[in-house]
Amino acid sequence: MSKIMEKIQRLSIEEIQTLQVDAAMRIIATNSNLLIEINGEMFTALGELGQARIKVEVLKEKKSTIIEQNRALKTVISNG
């Protein structure tokens, strides 16, 4: 992601005031390409987020199973 941040062109106030149309068009084209790249990275990140959420839910269920098993075992022990 830092690669994208490095690619974003920063313009000073003076540059903005003296910007020519062709230079502005080139910046727009560059920004359009950056937006495409960002969308791709967002798609990938959302997929990773979805997988992480699934993993968390699976782990929660496993944890719940262990807790319930321990409760059952405590009952067996207490009735021992």
pLDDT, tens only, 59-77: 999 999 999 999 999 999 9
Please tell me the predicted confidence (pLDDT) of residue 1: 65
The residue range of the domain holding 19 is 2-79
Question: DSSP 3-state assignment of 70?
Answer: helix
Percent of the chain with pLDDT over 70: 99
Query: What is the count of structural domains for the chain?
Result: 1
pLDDT at 34: 94
The token pair that represents 23 in the structure block: 């230079």
| Ranges in the chain, pLDDT < 50 | none
Instruction: Copy the structure tokens of residue 49.
Output: 């987020």
